[in-house]
Structure 1
Amino acid sequence: MHTETVQSSLFARLVEIGRDSASVSSEPETLYDRHGVLVVRVGDVAVKAHQADREHGAVFLERIRVAVTVPDVLVGPLGPPLDVDGRTVTVSPYGEPVDPRQDPPWEEGARLLAALHSTPVPVDAPSWGRPARVARRVSELGHGPAADVVRHAFATLPAWIRGEGAEPPGASECLIHGDWHLGQMVRGRDGRWRLIDIEDLGVGDPVWDLARPAALYSAGVLHPDDWGRFLGAYTEAGGPAVPAGGDPWTTLDVPARSLAIQIAATCVISAERGNRPLDGPEQAMIDACGRISRAGDVA
């Protein structure tokens, strides 16, 4: 069966599920269709077909259980996952995503993360694990100068991030989102922002939730004013990921480098698959990897 036919069939099934779940009817709308994920809005619900290669067994059920305990911060599914032709599907309340044409809600995102990180960790909450995406992305790189720059930078990261050896003890253990960026925020009907996509929700070091904006800032892609707004709001809200009154880069350095490499690898892969040159921000991430390589290994 062709990919287009499979996707069309999946879309129809998600619409059917949405119509059974929604309290308000509307024309179905595709919200997201990338990286093996399909999200469809039907009225006041969003129906999501999750990535087929992600683990959605008992641990995912635990993440859902944890999410519903923090409803002021997280949007959890309205019920248990469904199996649709072998795909895991969840139904959640719909929320308006961040509008790229508007001023980004950096402060609101920072305050949500600070609140999540300060939430008492529920009993038997699952572990976030380790930042495995960076190694996975680097393993998918092809050949060429940009790919080589990214691989050289990756080699400077600590062994445990590269998938070799155990994570060192002593990291803070908080409830963390695990994959935070502005695309993980929606505004509900009550006008309040919340976090979505709980596949990585778990117990871990909260600094990893700050790593993506830190990486973009260090690469020159995120404006210093926006970084200042985000980090300032996080610390003012009592977020525990960085030392109060101290140098935030004592904890941010390794996560920021890791995410810079992950983002750069994703940029190279995307350009290769699209048979196109790197654009300006993408090249900035490759350049950041060059600086990481020149700085050498990090402990």
Structure 2
Amino acid sequence: MTVDVLPALRAKARAAAHSAAAEVCVCGTDTTVLADRPDGTVVRHAGTVAKAHASDTDPAELTVRMSVAANPELTGVLLPPLSPTAVELHGRPVTFWPYGTPVDRDDPDAAPWEEAAALLAYLHRTPQSVLPPGLPPMRGPAKAARAIARLHAAGPHPAAAPVLRAWAVLPAWARNEAPMPDTRTLCHGDLHLGQLVRAQAGDWLLIDIDDLGRGDPAWDLARPAAWFACGLLPPDEWARFLTAYRKAAGPAVPADSDPWPALDVPARALTVQTAALAIAKSVAEQRPLDEVEMSVIDACDRMSAHPPELADGFAK
């Protein structure tokens, strides 16, 4: 039976927001639930955010990832935790963070594409000397494989076939069946605009270190690249993102030539991941697929007919 972690997590957030762990809060501020999913339950009290990570989170790997976020060398790139260590709550590790203002989903014209790209470039240029021993691989391919597992668990679905065909033609590393070809670069592992917050100082910062680790930096550009390829991200927004990444000397793509040999495999993997999750969610919610979800599945159908361009060094 799954334990409801919310009541205790609210109390933890209140206690962390006030230096004394008083049972009665007198600040007049409510505790707000920001997310409540199996992979992360997040609450806010005043300026403090408490996150209960997934129950299968590796404590040692989380500690290493937290140390990266707390490293002064990454000030201005990653949101630093309020405490460098996690506490346990009902078998789930809980971490504490300062609150930051998220991207406004209702104002797409104000989306900080340039800021996101620059932050990624700075993250990818982190010197090897800053990376701590034991930093695990970034979890992008593992999340894609988990999405495929969810698709299988959802049962037969008429839209599943093209998604599984597109998955089958990916190289083994993109399916999390072999080591990544590049493990020198610090990567976020799950980049989208929901992973940015504006700190009190007004600067944008990257959040969510659950998937942080060594890996192929192209994976961090894969979601916007996939959206662009599927027609879900306008060309000018993609151009803004890619231009800003290159201007900040990001190493994932060439500075002045075709970026797609580097982006093709990760973008395909993110397209398959998105499609697999869309089908699994539609089954769970007992609803038909919507137009956006179908566009991603249609992209999988096109991809499955054309094997990916494998850049130099990619597993074949």
| Alpha-carbon distance change, 165 to 192 in structure 1, aligned in 2, over 3 angstroms | closer
Structure 1, residues 119-154: CA drift from partner, whole Å, max 9, x if none?
Answer: 213242513256122222112212122111111111
SS of aligned partner of 2:36: strand
Map of 1:128 onto structure 2: 137
C-alpha root-mean-square deviation of aligned residues, in Å? 1.8
- Within-5 A mapping of 1:258-277: 258-277=269-288
Matched, 1:233 2:235: no
The letter of the residue matching 1:115 is Y
Number of the residue aligned with 1:156: 169
Tell me the amino acid that sits aligned with residue 76 of structure 1.
P
**1:218 corresponds to:** 229
Is this contact kept in 2: 1:125–1:203, CA < 8 A?
A: no
Counterpart position of 2:77 = 73
Deviations 1:158-207 (A, max 9, x none): 12322434444xx3621111111111111111111101110121221211
User: Normalised by the size of structure 1, how large is the TM-score?
Assistant: 0.92
Matched position secondary structure for 2:174: coil
1:169-180 alignment, distance < 5 Å: 171=182, 173-180=184-191
C-alpha distance in 2 between matches for 1:164 and 1:237:
32
**Whole-Å separation in 1 of the counterparts to 2:65 and 2:172:** 28
Query: How far does residue 289 in structure 1 lie from its aligned partner after superposition?
Result: 0.2
Find the counterpart in structure 2 of residue 17 from structure 1: 12
Q: What TM-score do you get using the length of structure 2 for normalisation?
A: 0.87
Indicate conservation of the 8 Å contact 2:65/2:209, yes or no: yes
- Structure 2 Cα separation of the partners of residues 84 and 23 of structure 1: 19
Aligned residues of 2:180 and 2:215 also touching (Cα < 8 A): no
Establish whether residue 147 from structure 1 lines up as the match of residue 142 from structure 2. Answer: no
- Report the counterpart of residue 22 of structure 2 in structure 1: none
Residue 53 (structure 1) aligned with residue 56 (structure 2): yes
Going from structure 1 to structure 2, the CA distance change for 1:100 and 1:202 (only over 3 Å counts) comes to same
With 85-94 and 11-20 compared, the bigger mean Cα shift is at 11-20
Q: How many residues align?
A: 291
Q: What is the percentage of aligned positions where both structures have the same residue?
A: 47
Question: How has the CA–CA distance of structure 1 residues 199 and 291 changed in structure 2, closer, same or farther, with 3 Å as cutoff?
Answer: same
**Match 1:112 to one of 105, 110, 119:** 119
> What is the one-letter code of the residue matched to 1:44?
G
Residue-by-residue CA offset, 1:94-117 (whole Å, 9 max, x unaligned): 111111112211111111111111
State the distance in 1 between where 2:195 and 2:95 align. Answer: 16
Task: Identify which of 33, 36, 42 aligns with 1:33.
Answer: 36
Equivalent position of 1:87 in the other structure: 92
Give the superposition deviation at 1:44.
Answer: 0.3
- Corresponding position of 2:255: 244
Per the TM alignment, residue 223 of structure 1 is displaced from its structure 2 partner at its CA by 1.3
Change (3 A) 1:87 1:278: same
Structure 2 unaligned segments of length 5 or more: list them: 20-26, 310-315
